[in-house]
Amino acid sequence: MEKAIVKFNNGNLAVLCSYCHKILKTAKELTNDELFLVLGEDKNHLPAQYCEQCKEKQNGTTNNTSS
């Protein structure tokens, strides 16, 4: 299983998109379960996280809504 990319910048935790490395969530936005998986020394890890654009690329779909 691929793990989420977690980085600290000046002491601030951030979860990044596993494809493009865009910041998805900061520590304040994580649920308690997500925070436990990120910081815990358990063998379980937060699975890879993806932004909406990268999810669409992986699924082979695009959302072109131009008016």
pLDDT confidence bin for 10, thresholds 50/70/90: confident
Model confidence, pTM = 0.77
Instruction: Of 28, 36, 24, give the one whose Cα is nearest residue 11.
Output: 28
The residue among 42 and 46 whose pLDDT is bigger is 46
Task: Judge whether 64 lies within some domain.
Answer: no
The whole-angstrom separation of Cα 6 and Cα 17 is 9
Task: Judge whether 38 lies within some domain.
Answer: yes
Long-range contacts formed by 61-66: CB under 8 A, 24+ apart: none
Quote the pLDDT of residue 63.
57
Number of domains present in the structure of the chain = 1
Task: Judge whether 41 lies within some domain.
Answer: yes
Task: Judge whether 30 lies within some domain.
Answer: yes
The residue among 43 and 18 whose pLDDT is bigger is 18
- Does 62 have pLDDT greater than 70? no
Task: Judge whether 32 lies within some domain.
Answer: yes
Quote the pLDDT of residue 67.
44
Query: By residue range, what is the domain housing residue 37?
Result: 5-59
Task: Judge whether 35 lies within some domain.
Answer: yes
